[in-house]
Structure 1
Amino acid sequence: MYVKNLKELIMYICNLIRKGTFWFSVKYIFWVILDKIRGVDYVKNESYEKLGLNPEESSVFQATRDIKYLKKVLNDLEITPDDAILDLSCGKGYLMKIFASYPFKKVGGVELSEKLSRTTQENLNKEKISNYEIFNENAATFNQYNEYNYIYMFNPFPSAVMKSVINNLEKTNLDNKRITIIYHHPVCHEAITGGVF
């Protein structure tokens, strides 16, 4: 939003406070500035149109920076160098960066948007992370789950896509290995609980 004068700025801030989004907006601005300083782009909002995405196939890009609870979950898991994690709908790769700080042998990301896939690759290269792999494809048809025993999702896509993902995950788990799904903000929970998980 462009603000012309101080009165408009005050009204805008009051509106954010009234809606309960003021502190989120302050944090967002801080994260954008921090990204600029570091030469990466993890949080800048992107529209469906700009990303060339269809709302029926994907969720809108949502930057994830508040990871306190995710870190607690990861710290409680006994992650070893034999483990590998896949971030479904990895966005700009911020969580892949976090996952790379744990002893995973490999960190994978699936992202439908070509623009976001490129941004993820640029970000992780700037962070000097090498144990990652980006799959620029539709999660509904992705079938390389056999290399991963941890799957992470943050409200990644609509229910129809989630059902295809769970179906493919079941089909490709030929070794019947244990797979841990970390699902933050589970809006398609029924697709998971209705299957073998």
Structure 2
Amino acid sequence: MSAYKWLRRNVGQLLYERRYGVRTAERVDLADIGLDGEDRVYYAALNWRALRKALPKTEVSERDVFVDFGSGMGRVIVQASQYPFGRVIGVELSQELTEIARQNVRNMRVRRRCGEIELIASDVLDYAIPDDVSVAFFNNPFRGRIFSEVVNRLIASVDRAPRRVRMIYGNPLEEPYLMSTGRFRHLRTIALKPDPLGPPFGTIRTYDLLPK
């Protein structure tokens, strides 16, 4: 990347951070905080423009519950708070990153439209998925066995409490497993272009979780 492009992108990040009053831009390698392990992935924040492209606000009501699996410093939580969700939940392995996310939620300068915000420091495999979750968000936070286990638990939740669930998946490397379950239908794909106001581009896909 040229110095000019690097400068434009990082200045853009800082402008968004200042506008929202948060700190979310750093990349964090789990090895640096003693949490690396098989199938775990480093923290890198989603492009600031991505969620609103993947999930139009007109598709959300106060009956909806949003969960970000691997919520990190809370950038997506801050964005989700601008939707009329009944609850917004972040689940993050790192206590340190969860505390940063809580501070970001306290400090954010934009008007909050959602109801309750809950930030939980927990291994996702120890987290009981609520049976009212209707939007599940993954920014490639884990892969392999961890991903398949969480997906299977999400499916089990829908089987216990039938409802519509949409899954939003950034950088969907485990899509082959997802589709192999026979329970997901692709709704839309957002291919993010190189953006001077955010992280490097990528792909975000949205799916419906089908009833049994």
> After TM superposition, is the score higher than 0.5?
yes
Shift of 1:50: 2.9
Structure 2 equivalent of residue 188 of structure 1: 174
Structure 2 equivalent of residue 11 of structure 1: none
The share of aligned pairs that are identical, in percent, is 21
Structure 1 equivalent of residue 68 of structure 2: 87
Shift of 1:52: 2.4
Q: Residues 100 and 150 (structure 1 numbering): CA distance in 2 closer, same or farther, change over 3 Å?
A: same
* 1:160 maps to 2:145: yes
Structure with the largest fraction of strand: 2
| Partners of 2:137 and 2:105 in 1: CA distance | 18
Max Rg structure = 1
Structure with the largest fraction of helix: 1
Shift of 1:101: 0.5
What TM-score comes out, normalization by structure 1 length? 0.79
Q: Please give the secondary structure, in 2, of the residue aligned with 1:145.
A: coil
Runs of at least 5 residues in structure 2 that lack an aligned partner in the other structure: 185-212
Structure 1 equivalent of residue 17 of structure 2: 35
* 1:119 maps to 2:104: no
| Partners of 1:91 and 1:155 in 2: CA distance | 12
Structure 1 equivalent of residue 41 of structure 2: 59
- Indicate the structure whose relative CO is greater, using CA pairs within 8 Å and at least 6 residues apart: 2
Shift of 1:66: 3.8
Letter in 2 for 1:100: S
Shift of 1:75: 1.5
Shift of 1:131: 2.1
Are the aligned partners of 1:96 and 1:107 in contact in 2 as well (CA < 8 Å)?
Answer: yes
The number of residue pairs the alignment matches comes to 178
Letter in 2 for 1:176: P
What TM-score comes out, normalization by structure 2 length? 0.74
| Partners of 2:140 and 2:108 in 1: CA distance | 25
Structure 2 equivalent of residue 109 of structure 1: 90
Shift of 1:135: 1.8
Shift of 1:176: 1.7
| Partners of 1:100 and 1:36 in 2: CA distance | 17
* 1:149 maps to 2:134: yes
Letter in 2 for 1:101: Q
Structure 1 equivalent of residue 124 of structure 2: 139
Runs of at least 5 residues in structure 1 that lack an aligned partner in the other structure: 1-15
Output the aligned Cα RMSD: 2.4
Where in structure 1 do 4 or more consecutive aligned residues deviate above 3 Å?
32-39
